[in-house]
């Protein structure tokens, strides 16, 4: 079993839809949770960074962490064609493992006009 599981999709939605992306994990030591966006042939770009359980909102993006269920989500409101990319969840325990991230497989999202 992988430490971090992420549905690879692909996910296809119409413009303006609400998108829900999810990851589950098994390592209870994970405390820092991130979402990266990766366009084709590009490097990952940090979208959201959260610590422990709770919600964080940034514009059209909302990240949720439920440590009791070992489940994290990213919601994208009013999705745009420019949101079409691969979304990667990542996490670590912090401390001496700073920068050593465990990634999900990535979910391919297409937002069509």
Partner 1 sequence: NAGVMQNPRHLVRRRGQEARLRCSPVKGHSHVYWYRQLPEEGLKFMVYLQKENIIDESGMPKERFSAEFPKEGPSILRIQQVVRGDSAAYFCASSPPVAGANVLTFGAGSRLTVL
61 binding partner 1? (CB under 8 A): no
CB of 32 to partner 1, least distance (A): 6
Binding residue count for partner 1, defined by CB under 8 A: 25
CB nearer partner 1, residue 17 or residue 105: 105
The only residue of 83, 106, 109, 111 in contact with partner 1, by rule CB under 8 A: 106
Taking CB under 8 A as the binding criterion, the range among 11-19, 61-69, 72-80, 98-106 that sits at the site for partner 1 is: 98-106
CA distances from 31 to 25, 28, 69, 70, 84 (A): 11, 8, 13, 10, 28
Distance CA 111, CA 80 (A): 6
Distance CA 82, CA 94 (A): 32
Distance CA 73, CA 81 (A): 20
Contact positions vs partner 1 (CB under 8 A): 4, 6, 8, 32, 36, 41-46, 49, 88, 90, 92, 94, 98-106
């Amino acid at each position: 079993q992988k430490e971090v599981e992420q549905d690879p999709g692909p996910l296809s939605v119409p413009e303006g839809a609400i998108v829900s992306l999810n990851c589950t994990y098994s390592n209870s030591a994970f405390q820092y949770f991130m979402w990266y966006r990766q366009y084709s042939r590009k490097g990952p770009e940090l979208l959201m960074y959260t610590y422990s359980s709770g919600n964080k909102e940034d514009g059209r993006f909302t990240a949720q962490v439920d440590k009791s269920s070992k489940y994290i989500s990213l919601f994208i409101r009013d999705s745009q064609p420019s949101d079409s990319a691969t979304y990667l969840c990542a996490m670590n325990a912090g401390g001496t493992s700073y920068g050593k991230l465990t990634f999900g497989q990535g979910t391919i999202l297409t937002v069509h006009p």
